Structure 1
């Protein structure tokens, strides 16, 4: 018997040239395998370093089952009026915070748009400011403003407004940059000023997009207002944290269901409003 025959470099090149399809994507497959192996190794390292215990997870699941059992039936107890007032406070925090953030972000979005401010340094500086504001989570803003203005809904309003200013500024600037330039040029060609071009050529295009974004963030901020209420920024989150602390799981379940129903209603209404705004805009433009 003869031993295995090794393929020479010339023969390998000939085989590769004769069957190119068999060798296509080899580098991509190797790179993908290396990425997957690296991610698995990092996951294993994280599990080891963070002391992830599956035994504790099993014990925790038993405790979760006991908590879920205590949540039935959901009940407001004697605090229905208090909970409904807190829910209204949460909605007010979300509404005022979203509206304030949008009003502050609108001029910043104009300054951050390349099509409005051609100076690269100016809009670069504005965008970095917006990135910095957006990079701080709303919960951190809540903790900051609680120390500035004290506990209560006012701190929650300021926290949501600050967080949304960065997000809205980025979204508004992108909507402005993606707007069609022709209506703006048309206003300028008839002798209109830059402000006229923005008012009559740009604003009608971006208002539906901006309104849709504001409505979406109002829905999202309703949930955020619940979370920041837990740290003392007012609203229903404060009552939720209190009921969890005293282990009143039936009332916790009632508050959670109340929040879920409220968010679902807001989502339904805001979706219809967004559709109405975009539809009406389309009809008018057409």
Structure 2
């Protein structure tokens, strides 16, 4: 006499049938998903530890927002102060714009040949390519504010240190951007020049340059806009420009003058943004 299946056997049979009908829901987690889950868990743990070590407290944040509103009230209405101070403010703004322009232009000129040395398809050799990349990474890895502190110690206070700080910092950035644009250029024009009997320099001159120059010009215009803000910050450490006056007004608690300077900086950045945006659009239309 056969024994009737137990309840356990029936459950196992039903589970096997369900697994056969829907195998995708019973597969083991793929290694990529396990790694992603582990990285997400590690990120959450790191965030939690960081908030704990940095004494993050919502009450302090709420109190800080209230203090910020109080300072904003002191900044209104914006006022430049005396006529002589107004002239100094506009002189500092002009100095800041000059620092940004000269530093950006000088960095672009120096980084132009370095970009060809750092690009894989135009470099002289693998050794030169590797060394050029590492040098550019090292220069780019130091913030412009640190370069400003270095150059102020070397050449003294003033806008000259600011120009050198922007120039040095942007050489690494432009070198990387230019080399990537050169590596991404279409190879067909270079192959056509080579097939016509031209050498490597002819291929770069007539095959690579026409394609990458508009891209490089767009990068320069964008960095000019960014460096207008950066030159304000480096002025705080004595590298010239309106940043030094902004720092002095904050220390003197002249909040109405501070707001006036901030509005001037925002207006200057906005105008440069509009102009550079139109120039970039014009360059893109010509490509």
CA change 1:22–1:198 in 2 (3 A) is: same
What's 2:45 paired with?
A: 41
1:229, CA displacement in angstroms? 0.5
Aligned to 1:117: 123
Q: Counterpart of 2:215?
A: 209
CA 1:261/1:9 → structure 2, altered by over 3 Å: closer, same or farther? Answer: farther
**Given the superposition, is the C-alpha separation of residues 126 and 244 from structure 1 closer, same or farther in structure 2, using an over 3 Å criterion?**
same
How far is the alpha carbon of 1:11 from its aligned partner? 7.6
Aligned to 2:206: 200
In the alignment, which residue of structure 1 is the partner of 2:54? 50
SS of 1:115's partner is coil
Return the index of the structure with the highest Cα Rg: 2
Deviations 1:50-92 (A, max 9, x none): 2223333333222212101001001111122111111110010
C-alpha distance 127-10 of structure 1, shift in aligned 2 (>3 A): farther
Secondary structure at 2:238's aligned position in 1? coil
Match for residue 176 of structure 1 among 172, 175, 182: 182
Q: Measured at CA, do residues 131 and 244 of structure 1 come closer, stay the same or move farther in structure 2, by a change above 3 Å?
A: same
TM-score normalised to structure 2 length: 0.89
TM-aligned CA deviation for residue 262 of structure 1: 0.8
152 and 35 in structure 1: CA distance in 2 versus 1, 3 angstrom threshold: same
Q: Structure 2: which 5+ residue stretches go unaligned?
A: 1-6
Cα 1:33–1:228, aligned 2, differ >3 Å: closer, same or farther? same
**Who is 1:94 aligned against?**
100
Alignment of 1:48-197 (within 5 A): 48-78=52-82, 79-117=85-123, 119-197=125-203
Q: Does the Cα contact within 8 Å between 2:117 and 2:124 map onto a contact in 1?
A: no
User: How many residues are treated as equivalent by the alignment?
Assistant: 279
Alignment of 1:6-21 (within 5 A): 15-21=18-24
| Aligned mate of 2:247, from 241, 251, 272 | 241
Alpha-carbon displacement from aligned partner over 1:187-214 (angstroms, at most 9, x marks no partner)? 2333333322222221111010000000
1:253 to 259, 264, 279: 259
The gaps in structure 1 that reach 5 residues or longer are none
What is the TM-score with the length of structure 1 in the denominator? 0.89
